[in-house]
Amino acid sequence: MRKYNKKIDLKKVLPLLLEKYGLGFNEKDKLFYSNIYGKIFGDCVFTNGIIQTTQAYADAGEQVYFYYMTHQPLLNHDSRFGIETAKKPDYIGADHADDIYFTFGLPFLPQNLKNGFRFSYGEEEMSKKMMTYFTNFAKSGNPNMPVKLELEWPLYDTKSKQHIEFKTPTLGLGENLGKDSMHLYSNELSKL
């Protein structure tokens, strides 16, 4: 919080954060505060900084392609897919670096190199698409060529703020990721 306002009064901020981040969670749930903290931490440490950087590059006239992974890797949540790993609670979605499994094709490694991990058909398909987009980008500077996929990854600009969303069963497009969070931290909290 102090990143956004060095003189912030936490006694004023906490009720606002509980109100904003507590929506949709059951207060009687023993993980109520864990859910809220996870969302606050994600916004403060990852989402807001990534969006600020993305916007700065786009404002400078650079070609930016932004992605957001929302797929929860089954190996982290279902013992049928990852026997050797501790299972993460449901409130942890796609975690930091979970995209690496799919970007580098872990689903296609020989079984003896996967540490007992298994992947669903949907995860294999998502991995193929991610690898195609990223190798396209490495070859041409554009994730949409030379190999075309059914979903065109939009160029990010500061007006539409579109991005591709990596998820199963199908990829999707999103826009204005973090809009509410950016407003909260840049405008509302800075006034307290």
165's tokens: 């969303």
| Residues 86, 170 within the same domain | yes
107 with 101: CB under 8 angstroms? yes
| Residues 58, 115 within the same domain | no
| Residues 97, 172 within the same domain | yes
Buried b (16+ CB within 10 A) or exposed e, 130-145: beebbebeeeeeebbe
Give the Cα separation of 124 and 122 in Å (integer): 5
- pLDDT, tens only, 170-186: 999 999 999 999 988 88
| Residues 74, 165 within the same domain | yes
| Residues 155, 184 within the same domain | no
| Residues 95, 141 within the same domain | yes
Is the bond preceding residue 146 a cis peptide, omega within 30 degrees?
yes
| Residues 34, 83 within the same domain | no
**Percent of the chain beyond pLDDT 90?**
56
Give the Cα separation of 20 and 148 in Å (integer): 40
- pLDDT, tens only, 140-160: 999 999 999 999 999 999 899
- pLDDT, tens only, 56-90: 999 999 999 999 999 999 998 888 888 766 788 77
| Residues 36, 103 within the same domain | no
| Residues 157, 183 within the same domain | no
| Residues 23, 77 within the same domain | no
| Residues 133, 119 within the same domain | yes
- Determine the pLDDT at residue 170: 95
Task: Give the structural domain span for 43.
Answer: 1-62+178-192
96 with 88: CB under 8 angstroms? no
**Domain tally, the chain:** 2
- pLDDT, tens only, 118-135: 999 999 999 999 999 999
For residue 158, give the DSSP letter. Answer: T
| Residues 91, 136 within the same domain | yes
- Determine the pLDDT at residue 5: 62
Buried b (16+ CB within 10 A) or exposed e, 74-98: bbbbeeebbeeeeebeeebbbeeeb
